[in-house]
């Protein structure tokens, strides 16, 4: 079973795991997800929201019991990895969960826990102070402005703000009065790097890294290009994290780094889950989803860990999104509702994710759009020399997973919570 079936990550996971299992079941809180249309998925089920914790896990446990004579592998697709690890005891004996131990996860999340781990194990990271209460925060951070403020709990960049001065700091405290603990963090110089790893009992089995190159190369058209880079500059800190936590499973670590060998990369945060660029990682040589499935089922790898291809590039070509979505929309029942607005948006000069976000927003009063909207807009096949970090070329029907937004609207009357229009394209 693969959760978070709406995502591109779930598509990659299904493709990777299918050869190891007899049946693939996709799970989500709504229907009409990407996995619903994928040839790598045999059926889909709906479950309660991951935020319901125990109830969410009980729904998954109930499905596992339907297959009492079989061993059921549960592959969490996103942030629910933490939720399922916390409620692992609710799963039946025939279920195996591909997630780290809860004790390991609690050392890196919430973020103020990771701040403690960084200090204890000499991991290179920006200076960080955390405030458990409003009284603690009122005294202000000891470091100079500008700095970053962020809630200890939360993901996807939600609640993170650059604070320029004391006045802005106090305004942030007011706006986030219900979000304690809060963290203050010094600014790290350089570019973002995503470093992925698979570990077993605290020892790293394989790792790889990529960075984003925006709007390159020109001859391939506008779009975000991911490039695999050497993980060597990040290796020491990744191994420290794995050993300190006794990690078994996958994790993703965000770094900031200048790219200069004379500088040390700085760890920003650790995520106990798969990452948005999972398909890029797979295409560039490391099949993390398959390796995790093997490790969970057999307590060892049955295939040789891949070697990342340094310099490998994949892209998300924004210029081709309109034609790609045309195909998905033409298949849908709600195309007529969108037709006039869609024609304006897709033919507009300088098509952008933000414009498309406004189109979807017209269907609901709810705010929001990031990952879910990117999932919709990124359903496009390759038309250049670069591989596309989206979905399998032989599985085009999965593009109809764009309908999950409408499915969510029909069920809940609002857009999916993952979406954040203001941050689209970032």
Average pLDDT, the chain: 80
Tokens 């305004």 sit at which residue?
Answer: 171
Bridge partners (DSSP) listed for residue 388 = 315
Question: At 233, phi and psi to the nearest 5?
Answer: -60, -20
Which residue ranges make up each domain of the chain?
A: 8-99, 127-186, 191-316, 318-423
Residue with token string 């927003």: 361
255 CB-near residues (< 8 Å, 6+ apart) = 192, 193, 194, 195, 234, 237, 265, 266, 267, 268
- pTM for this structure? 0.77
Enter the CATH code of domain 191-316: 3.30.470.20
- Which CATH number is 127-186's, of 3.30.1490.20, 3.40.50.300, 1.20.120.420, 3.90.180.10? 3.30.1490.20
For residues 147 and 141, give the distance between their C-alpha atoms in angstroms, rounded to a whole number.
9
Given this model, what pLDDT does residue 64 score?
99
- pLDDT for the residue numbered 79: 86
The confidence band for 344, taking pLDDT boundaries of 50, 70 and 90, is: low
Instruction: Give dist(CA 89, CA 292) in Å, integer.
Output: 20
The closest of 271, 297, 288, 252 to 97, measured between CA atoms, is: 297
3-class SS string, 68-128: CCCCEEEECCCCHHHHHHHCHHHCCCCEEECCCCHHHHCCCCCHHHHHHHHHHCCCCCCCE
Which tens digits make up the pLDDT trace of 160-205?
A: 889 999 999 999 999 999 999 999 999 998 999 999 999 999 999 9
Helix (H/G/I), strand (E/B), else coil: 368: coil
* Residue among 148, 33, 115, 24 nearest 411 (CA): 33
pLDDT tens digits for range 103-159: 999 999 988 899 899 999 999 999 999 899 999 999 889 999 999 999 988 655 567
């Amino acid at each position: 079973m693969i959760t978070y079936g709406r995502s591109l990550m779930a598509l990659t996971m299904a493709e990777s795991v299918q050869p190891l299992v007899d049946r693939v079941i996709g799970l989500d809180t709504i229907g009409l997800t990407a996995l619903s249309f994928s040839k790598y998925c045999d059926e889909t089920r709906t479950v309660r929201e991951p935020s319901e914790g125990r109830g969410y896990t009980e729904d998954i446990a109930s499905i596992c019991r339907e297959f009492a004579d079989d061993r059921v592998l549960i592959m969490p697709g996103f942030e629910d990895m933490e939720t399922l690890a916390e409620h692992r005891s609710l799963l039946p004996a025939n279920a195996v969960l591909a997630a780290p131990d809860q004790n390991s996860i609690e050392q890196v999340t919430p973020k103020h826990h990771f701040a403690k781990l960084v200090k204890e194990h000499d991991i290179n990271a920006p200076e960080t102070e955390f405030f458990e209460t409003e009284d603690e925060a009122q005294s202000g951070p000891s470091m100079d402005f500008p700095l970053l403020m962020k809630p200890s709990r939360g993901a996807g960049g939600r609640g993170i703000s650059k604070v320029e001065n004391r006045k802005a700091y106090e305004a942030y405290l007011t706006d986030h009065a219900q979000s304690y603990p809060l963290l203050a963090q010094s600014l790290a110089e350089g570019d973002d790097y995503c470093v992925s790893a698979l570990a077993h009992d605290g020892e790293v089995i394989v790792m790889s890294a990529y960075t984003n190159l925006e709007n390159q190369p020109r001859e391939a058209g506008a779009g975000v290009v991911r490039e695999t880079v050497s993980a060597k500059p990040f290796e020491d800190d990744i191994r420290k994290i794995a050993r300190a936590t006794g990690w078994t499973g996958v994790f993703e670590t965000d770094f900031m780094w200048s790219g200069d060998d004379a500088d040390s990369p700085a760890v920003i945060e650790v995520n106990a889950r798969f990452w948005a660029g999972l398909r890029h990682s797979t295409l560039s040589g490391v099949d993390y989803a398959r390796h995790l499935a093997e490790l969970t089922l057999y307590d060892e790898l049955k295939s040789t860990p891949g070697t990342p291809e340094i310099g490998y590039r994949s892209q998300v070509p924004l210029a081709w999104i309109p034609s790609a979505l045309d195909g998905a929309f033409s298949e849908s029942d709600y195309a007529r509702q969108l037709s006039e607005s869609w024609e304006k948006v897709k033919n507009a000069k300088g098509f952008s994710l933000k414009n498309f976000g406004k189109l979807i927003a017209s269907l609901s009063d709810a705010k929001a759009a990031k990952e879910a909207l990117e999932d919709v807009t990124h359903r496009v096949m390759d038309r250049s020399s670069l591989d596309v970090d989206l979905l399998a070329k032989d599985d085009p029907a999965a593009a109809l997973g764009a309908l999950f937004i409408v499915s969510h609207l029909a069920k809940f009357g609002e857009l999916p919570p993952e979406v954040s229009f203001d941050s689209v394209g970032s």
